Each structure stands twice: as C-alpha cells, then as structure tokens.
C-alpha cells in the first residue's frame, strides 16, 4: 500500500537537503547582528534566505514524480501516466503552497526563542545560543524528522491523488461507474478516525468522510493537518457497472 521506499527516500533527500541549505543561510543572517556586534539576533532576516528554500521546493516537487507514477500504475487501468492531468496538477499546486510556507514557520520558531529568552532576562549570548540550536539542521533531530514527515506525507498524498486521477480519467472516457474504497493500514499506529473510515466506499467524485472531514483521497491536502500529516492509508478502485 502506498509509494515505494525508493520514492519516499528520494523526497526525503530533497527535503533534507533543502532544509540544510535554507537553514544554513538563515542561521548566518539571523545571527549576524550577534556575531558582529553582540546584538540580539534578527528574526526577520529569515526572509532574506527564503529564495533558497523556494528553489529547493521545486526540487522536492520534482522528486514526487516516482510516487505519482506508482499511484497511476496502481489503479491497474489502461493509459500511460499523464503528468499534465488537471487533477494531479491541482493537488501538486496545493502541496507547493504548503511547502513554500516553511520560512514563515522558521521565523515563528526564531521569534519564540527570542521572546522566551528576553522574558527570562537572558543575555544576548544565551538568546543567540537558543536561536542557533533552532537553526542548526545537523544538530537537531527536529529537522531530520521534518524532512521525513514531508517525504511520507507527500509521497502517500500524491500516490493516492494520482491513483484517483487515473480512475477519474478512465471513468470519463468509458462512461462506466466506478467506486473507491478507503483502506487503512491497521498496525496499532493508525488514527481512530482512519480506522473508522476503513472500507468506506464512495463514488469517485464524492469525498470520504474521515473524522467529520471530507477527504477526496487519503492525504488530501485540503484536510486539516491532524487528519492528513503522516497518513499511511490507501484506496482501491473498482468498476461497478
């Protein structure tokens, strides 16, 4: 169920390398006032490093191609993978919009450390050390974990979106009636809402109801973060008439 390990590893490498490049530059510019003048770090300088992340987002998006191809093939329907399919492109656009917000998240983390340090009457040395820990990609498991979350979430998301896109295309072309069925990976780690959705059947164009949220497929980026991040569920497509 879901994209291959190789596909996920490719996205992980692109995400981690992107974070490493972006955070490395952000670390330099945010801590520059402290390094030069022993002044407080400048949280807003994060945004001067943002173009580096934007370029890396394109690499991450390109790394999703194997997951999309695997999802398309998993529908077991005729027709070659179509990267220009409107449904695939729409969901890729949603993912792109989510990924480009990373500089905002990093800015918020830096601001939090500066405020906490200031409220605790810490010195600029201590505040700078706080910020340095947040932005040190090599010294924090948080960023390795974030890259893995991106890889798992986005690969499963686009595997399922591509599978559904292929089925929708075939349904339009052959005039048949098709259904999709939610499949939860049940190993004790699944969310209660996803376990309750297991074996839920819907017409292709109708959303599943998962945790009282409409999701067109497992990992649907229109869903709330708690409902789609690290989702490992899949779906099966069947023709009913």
- pLDDT for 41 beyond 70: yes
- pLDDT for 140 beyond 70: no
- pLDDT for 35 beyond 70: yes
154 belongs to a structural domain: yes
* 128 class by beta-carbon count within 10 Å (0-12 exposed, 13-18 middle, 19+ buried): buried
Whether residue 92 contacts residue 62, with contact meaning beta carbons closer than 8 Å, is answered with no
Cα 57 versus chain centre, distance: 11
CA distance 76 to 141: 39
Model confidence at 176, pLDDT cuts 50, 70, 90, reads confident
149 belongs to a structural domain: yes
119 belongs to a structural domain: yes
Model confidence at 241, pLDDT cuts 50, 70, 90, reads confident
17 belongs to a structural domain: yes
Task: Specify the number of domains making up the chain.
Answer: 1
Share above pLDDT 90 across residues of the chain, in percent, rounded to a whole number: 95
216 belongs to a structural domain: no
Q: What is the value of pTM for the model shown? A: 0.94
25 belongs to a structural domain: yes
Q: Give the mean pLDDT of 180-203.
A: 96
236 belongs to a structural domain: no
Percent of the chain that is helix, strand, coil (3-state, to 5): 65, 10, 30
- pLDDT for 203 beyond 80: yes
Domain coverage including residue 129? 5-174
229 belongs to a structural domain: no
């Amino acid at each position: 169920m879901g994209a291959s390990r190789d596909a996920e590893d490719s996205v992980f490498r692109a995400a981690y390398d992107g974070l490493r490049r972006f955070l490395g530059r952000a670390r330099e510019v945010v801590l520059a006032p402290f390094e030069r003048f022993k002044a407080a770090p400048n949280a807003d300088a994060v945004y001067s490093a943002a173009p580096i992340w934007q370029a890396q987002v394109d690499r991450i998006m390109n790394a999703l191609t194997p997951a999309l191809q695997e999802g398309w093939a998993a529908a077991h329907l005729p027709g070659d993978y179509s990267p220009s399919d409107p449904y695939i492109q729409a969901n890729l656009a949603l993912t792109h919009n989510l990924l480009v917000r990373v500089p905002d998240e990093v800015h918020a983390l830096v601001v939090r450390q500066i405020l906490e340090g200031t409220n605790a009457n810490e010195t600029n040395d201590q505040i700078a050390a706080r910020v340095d820990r947040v932005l040190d990609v090599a010294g924090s498991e948080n960023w390795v974990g974030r890259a893995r979350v991106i890889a798992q979430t986005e690969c499963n998301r686009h595997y399922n979106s591509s599978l559904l896109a292929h089925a929708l295309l075939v349904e339009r072309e052959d005039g048949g009636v098709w259904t999709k069925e939610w499949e939860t990976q049940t190993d004790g780690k699944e969310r209660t809402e996803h376990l309750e959705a297991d074996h839920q059947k819907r017409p292709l164009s109708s959303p599943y109801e998962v945790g009282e949220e409409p999701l067109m497929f497992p990992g649907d980026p229109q869903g709330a973060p708690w409902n789609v991040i690290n989702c490992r569920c899949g779906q099966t497509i069947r023709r009913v008439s």
